[in-house]
Amino acid sequence: MMSFISNNNSNIKTVYGDGKGGTSKRKVVRGQQDRLRDITLLPEEDDQNPHLLTTTNISSSSSFFGTSHHPTASHGGDMIGKRRRFGSHLRHRRRQRLQQSLRLFVAAIFLLVFTTRVLYQRAYNKHHNRQSATAPKSRGFGQERDNGDDGSSDTSRRKYQPGQPLHHPGLEGHLLQPKVSPRRRRRIGRGGGDLAHSTPQDDSDSKSDTVERLQEDFQHAFDVTTERISANLDQGIRWVNPGMVPPLETGKRKPMLEVTKRNMIDLKVPKQKRRPFFTVSRPSTMAWQVEDQAKRKNDMRPDFVDYTQHRYHYPELLLEPPAILGQYPKLQPLRDLMNQWPQDELDHPPEIIPEVLMHFDHTQPEQLQVAKRFRDAKLPFKLINVPEVMEAGQKWTDDYLTVNFDGGYGTNGPPAEGTAEESVDNFFAFFVPHLWSVPQMGLPPTLNNDWTFARWSQHARYADRVGLSPHRPHFYWQAGVSRDERKESYDRWTFISRDLPSFSSPTETFFLFEPQQQKGIQCRFGERGVTAATHYDNGRNMVAMITGAKRYILSPPRECRKLGIVTKFGNAMYRHSMLNLGHMAYLNNSSNTTEGMPDEERAWLERAATAESLSTVLKAGEVLYIPSFWFHYIVGLQKNAQCNVRSGVDPEGDTYFGGKDDVMHQCDLDGMTR
């Protein structure tokens, strides 16, 4: 049935129904019904009756037809254009519906594939568990508890006591290996990979239980270590973890040295403790503070050595770099250096400390030009009487530094950022925290704590006052500024950039001779005995001693194979050695104190003892130049402050002392791929 509703003001009718029992709606004009019979328009529904198409007040002169003529006059062309527009609209709607259908289809396929893989993986894990139920259990983590030990006895925790290697010997087991999908496993079976390093995990319940046990044991070790640091206890000799030094034989592999971001395993912990075992909060009062209060009455001990005022013997000044390579600087075996002055004998140095590096006076222009020629010749040297370094040394009192680190925004610009690090003894084996995997590598060798600079400086004064033992806890304050700070306005500079203008300058200076390659300024505030492990820097390094003194042991790049450097790129210990060279004092010691030294550490120390090296004391007001890729091992002689800046990489090096090629290609004993 078809019904018509006439518009009083025009010849346009609203047609409801299609005459065939349908419900289509269309508008027609009297006299043109036949011509417009098949034109279907978009409906406008009435609010009261949605099934009724209402008419719009369109005049008979007809904006509806897009013309000002009378509707009875020449509507053929207008009707064709209108029909095309309506057809285009319908095609657009059909395309939209088709696209929506395709998206739903793709989502359904994805859901089907995902569900199939999950179900297949569950079935595979159940099958694997049934096969391994009767097999001998891997000697992985949790073996003590499976044998009846509940983990509460001292024997089950013994390997985690301070002074012992902080690693778990059973991490080679399958329980903590990366998960391998069935597809990956099939590809490995066809010869596409190494199955020995691709063993799948147990089912989710067993894996969760294993990780929980692992975290509990590491938490226990962490608590024991931090409590002993709080108590300021003597930790004894901490031997190196054999898994953290390169293999002595070619082809032998060390799992710890192969851990990178691609294969590292981390503990699953809540978000608020995303990375446990790397930071610790210290109580307001610690044992050393109580001891310090008791000893302040005696002030400084009588045998304290101020190395800024000690006696030194300097070599004759050279006006040109030697024509024959190797004549400067004079090197000698590391064993001889350590025998002449053992690392931890800070209260009994040689009466006159010999120096082998050139000391150029910064205030003498002709000597500064000679220093530039030594710098261009890629040879280490020292500058003395550097005015801005000496001025900074006068300014950087504990009060001044406390305000600039711990205070708010003031007249000296924004506060600088710094962090206190702590170690169970005086040895700081540096690493990259976000690349350190606790399940695979054990507890990290050092921790960050929540100290302010004021509290750190109090401990540094205490260390000088009591002559802190090398086996007691030590603390290190690290700070610096980014490379972009010098691009800010001067009022946004921290005190480090302000007080060392030659280091922060955007233009070339003697210390920053390639300013575009500057990577920022790094500052280290150390205390008596703090020892930084052997490492190298890519950039050409200018090291300024602001206050106090440090001993630097330098070795050329060609000695890389003798120093135990970790060469695996991406490993947390990359570019560093974990060897404490102070342990050379125990090589010829037949006492019981050396019974725990691992054979591999002894072998590495014997090898390191033959490395050609030099020793120099860097004092307040001096700057040391270290060429690219030269190794340096650093010992804090007293409370000190040091900042350094780098000027890009020297890719060529020296034909005699070596360079980049030696540390990148000739240093690798174990054949690991970078």
Q: pLDDT tens for residues 562-577? A: 999 999 999 999 999 9
Contact 551, 506 (CB under 8 A): no
Q: What is the pLDDT of residues 97-111, one digit of tens each?
A: 898 899 999 999 989
CA distance 380 to 359: 10
Question: Mean pLDDT highest for which of 50-59, 162-171, 205-214, 485-494?
Answer: 485-494
The DSSP annotation for 359-388 comes to EEETT-HHHHHHHHHHHHTT--EEEE--HH
The whole-number pLDDT of residue 143 equals 30
Across the strands, what pairs with 531?
427, 635
The whole-number pLDDT of residue 76 equals 54
CA distance 120 to 186: 14
Say yes or no to pLDDT of 59 above 50: no
The whole-number pLDDT of residue 209 equals 63
Q: How far is residue 210 CA from its own chain's centroid?
A: 27
The DSSP annotation for 411-480 comes to TTBSPPPEEEEEESSSEE----GGG--HHHH-S-S-EEE---HHHHHHHHHHHHHHT--TTS-EEEEEEE
Say yes or no to pLDDT of 119 above 70: yes
Residues 21-32 have a mean pLDDT of 45
CA distance 310 to 312: 7
Q: How many CB atoms lie within 10 A of CB 247?
A: 17
Helix (H) or strand (E) holding 6: strand 3-6
Say yes or no to pLDDT of 337 above 70: yes
The whole-number pLDDT of residue 32 equals 46
3-state DSSP call for residue 282?
coil
Residues 514-528 have a mean pLDDT of 92
Contacts of 373 (CB under 8 A, 6+ apart): 320, 321
**Percent above pLDDT 70 for the chain:** 70
Contact 358, 381 (CB under 8 A): yes
CA distance 626 to 536: 10
Q: How many CB atoms lie within 10 A of CB 1?
A: 9
Say yes or no to pLDDT of 359 above 90: yes
The whole-number pLDDT of residue 499 equals 95
Say yes or no to pLDDT of 145 above 90: no
Across the strands, what pairs with 539?
649
CA distance 563 to 584: 13
The whole-number pLDDT of residue 196 equals 35
Mean pLDDT of the chain: 78
The whole-number pLDDT of residue 244 equals 93
Helix (H) or strand (E) holding 25: strand 25-29
CA distance 10 to 163: 102
Say yes or no to pLDDT of 18 above 50: no
The whole-number pLDDT of residue 233 equals 93
Q: How many CB atoms lie within 10 A of CB 650?
A: 16
CA distance 265 to 269: 12
Q: Identify the CA nearest to 202 among candidates 116, 141, 268.
A: 141
The whole-number pLDDT of residue 386 equals 96
> Among positive and negative, which fits the CA dihedral 509, 515, 518, 520?
positive
Q: What tokens appear for 494 in the block?
A: 């921290």
Residue 216 phi, psi dihedral angles, 5° rounding: -65, -45
Question: Mean pLDDT highest for which of 133-147, 251-265, 411-425, 460-474?
Answer: 460-474
CA distance 162 to 445: 11
pLDDT band at 134 (very low <50, low <70, confident <90, very high): very low
Higher pLDDT, 159 or 71: 71
Within a 13 Å sphere around the CA of 149, how many CA atoms are in the beta-carbon half? 15
Say yes or no to pLDDT of 294 above 90: no
Contacts of 669 (CB under 8 A, 6+ apart): 246, 247, 248, 249, 250, 561
Q: What tokens appear for 525 in the block?
A: 């505030």
Say yes or no to pLDDT of 54 above 80: no
Q: Which of 160-169, 335-344, 512-521, 530-539 has the lowest mean pLDDT?
A: 160-169
Residues 647-658 have a mean pLDDT of 90
pLDDT band at 335 (very low <50, low <70, confident <90, very high): very high
Helix (H) or strand (E) holding 617: strand 612-619
Contact 545, 618 (CB under 8 A): yes
Q: What tokens appear for 648 in the block?
A: 């890009």
Say yes or no to pLDDT of 581 above 90: yes
Residues 298-318 have a mean pLDDT of 91
Higher pLDDT, 393 or 409: 393
The whole-number pLDDT of residue 274 equals 53
Say yes or no to pLDDT of 38 above 50: no
Residues 266-290 have a mean pLDDT of 78
Which amino acid is it at 607? R
Contact 663, 569 (CB under 8 A): no
The whole-number pLDDT of residue 148 equals 36
Say yes or no to pLDDT of 251 above 80: no
Task: Characterise 506 by phi-psi region: left (phi > 0), alpha (psi -120 to 50), beta (else).
Answer: alpha
Q: What tokens appear for 639 in the block?
A: 């409370």
The whole-number pLDDT of residue 591 equals 67
pLDDT band at 411 (very low <50, low <70, confident <90, very high): low
Q: Which of 1-5, 162-166, 581-585, 641-645 has the lowest mean pLDDT?
A: 162-166
Q: What tokens appear for 142 in the block?
A: 């949790």
The whole-number pLDDT of residue 33 equals 46
pLDDT band at 268 (very low <50, low <70, confident <90, very high): low
The whole-number pLDDT of residue 409 equals 59
Helix (H) or strand (E) holding 110: helix 76-132
Residues 261-288 have a mean pLDDT of 79
pTM (global) more than 0.75: no
Say yes or no to pLDDT of 376 above 90: yes
Q: What is the pLDDT of residues 475-502, one digit of tens each?
A: 999 999 998 898 888 888 999 999 999 9
The whole-number pLDDT of residue 452 equals 95
**Percent above pLDDT 90 for the chain:** 51
pLDDT band at 207 (very low <50, low <70, confident <90, very high): low
Q: Which of 181-195, 236-250, 509-523, 610-624 has the lowest mean pLDDT?
A: 181-195
3-state secondary structure 488-535: CCHHHCCHHHHHCHHHHCCCCCCCCCCHHHCCCEEEEEECCCCEEEEE
CA distance 512 to 516: 9
Please measure the distance between the N-terminal and C-terminal CA atoms of the chain and give it in whole angstroms.
Answer: 84
Higher pLDDT, 149 or 230: 230
pLDDT band at 344 (very low <50, low <70, confident <90, very high): very high
Say yes or no to pLDDT of 39 above 80: no
Across the strands, what pairs with 612?
333
Contacts of 176 (CB under 8 A, 6+ apart): 140, 141, 201, 210, 211, 214, 265, 439, 440
The whole-number pLDDT of residue 63 equals 38
Preceding omega of 329 cis (within 30 degrees of 0) = yes
